[in-house]
Amino acid sequence: MVSIGPVQDYLYQNQLSNYTPRDVGWIPSVFVYLALALGLWVGPLFDRFGPKWIAVGGSIAYIVMMFLLAECEKYWHFMLCLGVLGGVSGATLTTTSLACVAHWFKARRGLTQGIAMIGSSAGGLLQPLILRATFPKYGYKWSIRILAFLFLGCLVVGNMIMRGRIPPSKTATKRKIVEIKIFADMRFALLTVFIFCCELAELVST
């Protein structure tokens, strides 16, 4: 998600060169939006069923998306594959992995969440470097496949060690998706605003 820019730029210069930057930009925009917004629904599912099968299903869908992405040629291929399938599967993985960390820590939850997010920053740093080296040498298809195999290894390890501490709640999916009253906590409200501004800035920059 944080390193989608190089892929977007490559598509604009190659497979989707007959489209405007705005048109091509819709693909990662849908991807990022769904990956973040669908967390509102994945969260209650996590509380109801636990992380195991949500993470497994999301991992399979994400790897399938990556290998299909290597075969895409037309605009609607990229939109459905990367934008829709990538966004939906990304939401399951992002929400579940961060929620698992929150299960195991309370006093230093912020610190542990920050450490977990280092993985996102590392990916944002390494993946563009990998693509910059592989695009000219191996071409588009194998560059994406190389990333897919890298993701596969990470997801296998992640699924092996990911565990929920709190037992699943049978009433979780019956609760409201969004509780407006949680914004009465000024710390949470400010955090939401700051994260929104960061994600908006990242989306605009792509």
DSSP string, 93-135: HHHHHHHHHHHH-STTHHHHHHHHHHHHHHHHHHHHHHHHHHH
Quick one: 171 and 186 in the same domain?
no
Give the total number of structural domains in the chain. 2
Per-run averaged pLDDT (10 residues), the chain, 206 residues = 86 92 91 87 83 92 96 94 95 88 82 83 87 92 95 93 77 61 80 76 60
101 & 190 share domain? no
Instruction: Provide the pLDDT for residue 170.
Output: 67
Measured in degrees and rounded to the nearest 5, phi and psi for residue 4 equal: -75, -20
List of residues 6+ apart from 139 with CB closer than 8 A = none
Do 121 and 159 reside in the same domain of the chain?
yes
- Pair (201, 133) in one structural domain: no
Residues 120, 165 within the same domain: yes
Specify whether 123 is located in the same domain as 160.
Answer: yes
Whether 148 and 196 map to the same domain: the answer is: no
Domain extent, residue 27, equals 5-175
CA distances (Å), origin 165, targets 2, 42, 62, 74 = 29, 17, 25, 44
